[in-house]
Structure 1
């Protein structure tokens, strides 16, 4: 790359941020565009990402960086639909299957949900991996298929097209292997560039906090939430964030088919209370952001009376899936039992996520296949009584040689004591927006 053909030099941009100065708008526009087309090398973008991680960004810088990533690709437009749109994004947690019941629940009230989702990497599961456990279901839809399904069914959960924020796709993979994932400006711009390019009218962010979440600390999670709400608001998207607890896994399962089965229970009016409560809380926020104020009891009723389940069946069928087909089950199981009677006092979400990943539910490389039936089933959570010899967890996998490493992940991650822990904290910790 020579200065004769490019208006900036990548090394100058890196030095500017390395030395703690804000980047100019033109520098940001250029570096994102040049990186996307290959004129800025991977090692140069790695250095710039590290400088951003260490030095941070101002609000105008983050907004411009996000805008440049949006401009790297196409933008979707849902204005032709007959109903308003709302979307949800979770920063990822263990057992977080909320998207599955949430999208049809919101759609049952006349709001379209274009849920463009991703695959899992590491200890948090991917929504697309979960749904691919359903026989026949496909993640890839053309833009016209997406639009038709939104108009007809009202809900879509599918893979984001390659044309949306291609700069983010490239930078996301780079951050993953260069130790620069944890930067709030880079996380916020990554999430929001895709969501704004997606074209939704309203967005509710579920920012997880705790051991099983990306953000372990409430202050850092609040900073991330505020940054993303500001980016969405500035871009004309009605945006709100809920900070939610992820110290303990959500629900009773972590793993692909296991979580689909639990989601179906929620849509049948049952399922674990924490999954139901969070699904309802997010649905109320999405409906309000889309201009539909629906009282919480009425939202709950749509789970209990089958309205949301009807939309789920139509959504799965529209994408080639059979909602009545039996879900895959792992060939091997192993119970982890209590060594004494008492009450479960602790169960670490991160450890459960790592165990599920090691059992085959997740991947360590982007192209690695996942096992549909692998994962962890939770028979007891903090506050539940157990008897000596009874299973606290059941591990599921097709490859039993994985059991030892999964058990190792759980060593010291749970405990049984004489008395219940202090009252469980609130599931929703804060609301921003």
Structure 2
């Protein structure tokens, strides 16, 4: 069945409910170039402003999946479970989590992306490891899951091609925040990759795309229902991104911190979230009696990391790149760190060279920020709060300006905030 694009746009503009046939047609036609970018832009804006019903979102997601291929992971020989984070500042959890869950007996098919704006991308972090390759054929991807138990790479061209086109369009038309389109974008790729179970880390706060808890909760519920509708066991955790996660922001710095976690150390918030997500992933595939903390303690998790890196052409023993230009932000008085705005820290790291404005922009592997103090911790006058690193000294002044504004001090420690707010299943 064929429709006129303008009729589909008008239907959603006027707060109507799109039929299954309309949705199937418009997604397919846009993928094939029959519906123009400006027409899909108008429809995306209408969806942002007027929303979609649960039935519309489910059908839109199914149409996105149907636009490409769907991987078959039945031959992997282990239960498959993936994790997806909606993104944040200092969110390096995929790096220690993926090999950890693999060490516990599951297979983790992790299709990841690159950073854009103030948030970091998993593939950019991994490319700080010498030789690490982020592109795998479908065949190599499945074989690595079978032999190593984990793979972290970019999604192949054949998976949900409708999403690839629409994602780029949303980025330049002010429609990134549309919850139906966020949910269908994430879930179409995850379902198409063939995983049997999925754990979602849905973030809220200054450094997240969803600033408000209510929006994050709506997104989480939407994605959990989409997963279930497609036969994928799905659970979501709502986690705080008001403050950067861990003590580092930037690619090589975050790899180093991830290795500390796998070695049994690392910042408490990173350890806590890694173990919470690992337990959810293992429980989702019937391995709830396996203790992920034991896999860290006895070295299996680190062995799994090294096997993963080697399988994708990387050298786990190579030194990580270090930036030569350093500036610090120090405490102007005695007291406590009261706030540390995650968004501002992310923007500062971006200005140092760790982020990109466009997908094709290069990033600096060594640029970033070390957080010597975080909210609730005491400082004396002159104590270092942040250490900014860059390859190019010319990038430091603009980054310092925004980083200084990220921190406030107080006479008393601020109230503590829970890292994990809720679980949605």
TM-score by length of 2: 0.99
> Residue 353 of structure 2: SS of its match in structure 1?
helix
Q: CA deviation at 1:279?
A: 0.2
Partner of residue 78, structure 1: 73
Partner of residue 231, structure 1: 226
Counterpart of 1:428 (choices 389, 404, 420) is 420
Consecutive aligned runs of 4 or more in structure 1 exceeding 6 Å deviation: none
> Residue 380 of structure 1: SS of its match in structure 2?
coil
Alignment check: 8 A CA contact 1:269 1:305 kept:
no
Give matches, 1:188-227, under 5 Å: 188-227=183-222
Counterpart of 1:388 (choices 371, 376, 381) is 381
Counterpart of 1:308 (choices 288, 293, 301) is 301
Alignment check: 8 A CA contact 1:130 1:256 kept:
yes
Partner of residue 346, structure 2: 353
Q: CA deviation at 1:406?
A: 0.8
Q: CA deviation at 1:410?
A: 2.1
Q: 1 CA distance for matches of 2:380 and 2:317?
A: 36
Give matches, 1:366-377, under 5 Å: 366-377=359-370
Partner of residue 249, structure 2: 254
Q: 2 CA distance for matches of 1:40 and 1:155?
A: 38
Q: 1 CA distance for matches of 2:188 and 2:292?
A: 30
Q: 2 CA distance for matches of 1:216 and 1:404?
A: 28
> Residue 177 of structure 1: SS of its match in structure 2?
helix
| 1:89 and 2:84 aligned | yes
| 1:154 and 2:146 aligned | no
Unaligned 5+ segments in structure 1 are: 1-5
> Residue 252 of structure 2: SS of its match in structure 1?
helix
Partner of residue 110, structure 1: 105
| 1:327 and 2:320 aligned | yes
Q: 2 CA distance for matches of 1:217 and 1:385?
A: 28
Q: 2 CA distance for matches of 1:93 and 1:255?
A: 12
Q: CA RMSD in A?
A: 0.9
Q: CA deviation at 1:400?
A: 1.2
Alignment check: 8 A CA contact 1:284 1:294 kept:
no
Aligned length: 425
Alignment check: 8 A CA contact 2:75 2:146 kept:
no
| 1:64 and 2:59 aligned | yes
Unaligned 5+ segments in structure 2 are: none
Q: 1 CA distance for matches of 2:21 and 2:232?
A: 24
TM-score by length of 1: 0.97
